[in-house]
Structure 1
Amino acid sequence: MLFNLIIRADETLPMLTSRMFERTPDELADRYRTSTSFDFNALAQLPTVMAREFESDDMGAMARLGYMDSPSINPVISSPVLQFPSHALLDLGLLDENFWENKRTHWRLCEGDPFRLFSKFLADRPLPVEPEASSACDPNLIAVMMPFTEDPSIDPVYLALVEGSKRAGKKCRRVDEIWTPADITEDIFNLIASSSLVIADITDLNPNVMFEVGYAIGRGKQAVLICKDDVPQLPFDISHRRVFTYKRDKDGLAILSDRVMKILTNDQ
């Protein structure tokens, strides 16, 4: 499996053609060259890791993994599958600090499965990142981490959590309810940092949610894990934690709401 690795100083500017396939073996690069340019249609079919240029000691720099929105020499990933510290690119040997690759705009082709690679990286290591600015903890705020498959105003699982929290005198918030000019990753960090407790829906072990669970635990937050139907095989670091299962139907969501109220009032 191949994937794109794209580093840019300014992600609003196109990649320099002179930096295309830099430090990429010729036999790989030749597959994606045309007689006059590059085969961006084929490149867009590959998973893509994208990061801004970063200093080796910048533990807060973040990279994104996903697919390009469209074929382009100025690629955009608006809906990443996974976000992780950019330093992982150095730790895993994908970038060579001796060649300043973490601080050099270039586009490489790499071999391997990036989804497995970076998910395992996050599972095997404590998360070493901090938000740029953390808010004061609100004792009544519950941060909810879950896949955004539906708007929070109609998501039945989220509404069950909201209702149960409200009965306990608390308020739930999802990051897609926050409208700020900040990067969404910063919003996630600040939401977790300012909350008294985190509820995470780990159904299907969504990589973004698992990243957020790891960050919350690293911040010393109590993490309440919920899961639809059967509990999957959990990563070792959280395999000892209790997971509350629920059914996504009227009765099941009512039970979930009641359980959340009891957890938040310590009546369980």
Structure 2
Amino acid sequence: MFNLLVNAGGWADNHDTFSHGRILEYTAPALVTQMRVDGVLNIAALTAMPTLFMDEMRVDGEEFARIGTIMSIRDGARGQVLLDYIYDANVPPIPIAEIYRLRSRLGINDYEFSRTHWAVKDVDLFRFMLTELRGSRRHPRIFQLPETATLVNDQLSVMMPFANSALVLAAIQRAAGSAGMRCDRADDIWDHQTVMEDVVALIDRSAIVVCDCTGRNANVFYEIGLAHAWGKEVILITQNQADIPFDLAHLRYLHYHPNNEGLATLEAQLLARIRTLRGG
């Protein structure tokens, strides 16, 4: 989750005031009950989240937003609260026009760009930055990618040895379908002249990547590295625990048997994990 603070007058460097009456506008009712208990703001919860500070959007579209952390929230005079905050020095200013373009990913509607308010959004802000706002870092030398990522929230991809059982793939596809996701494997796609281009394009747009480490396939491990580097949710599976390399052994993985009972268990475990990653 993250705080979205929009202010018509812009933001001072480290502290400012905000109208108490506009806090938690445009916030889902379930989140409101978490952030305001018996009419009192849950300051611990609000200050624990990252914050996106924005000016109200102007016609010229030249404003920039900043990402930072609220350090303290105190009562002020005349229905105001006093905020102390710091901006993250490692995150450069973000054009508000870019946030507007990607507003649906952040759960922000059009009206919020011209309304001073404080909302809480149920979106992982830093994952959003990794998958959407990373254009300057997307310059691989051996394959081509669009300048900015186009994350498809219901896209799941499967990375596994081409020779692996079709029954394993079918179990993964059933789990994805039950969770309301489309499921693709690179060899099912022919959008580019090379298989490698199709693989990286599929990983790039996927929200979740399932990787089968069975057999220690070098291609799969390369694809796991890409998925991790691009901030994807990666689910590791394997028929043999010894096939999980040392550098990945600290991560949780699903161990399955390639028989009917084992694949049924894998399907159920994958479905549960996918639903957890998608927030329910």
TM-score, normalising length from structure 2? 0.46
Q: Whose RCO is larger (CA < 8 A, sep 6+)?
A: 1
Between structures 1 and 2, the one with greater strand share: 2
TM-score, normalising length from structure 1? 0.48
Larger Rg: 2
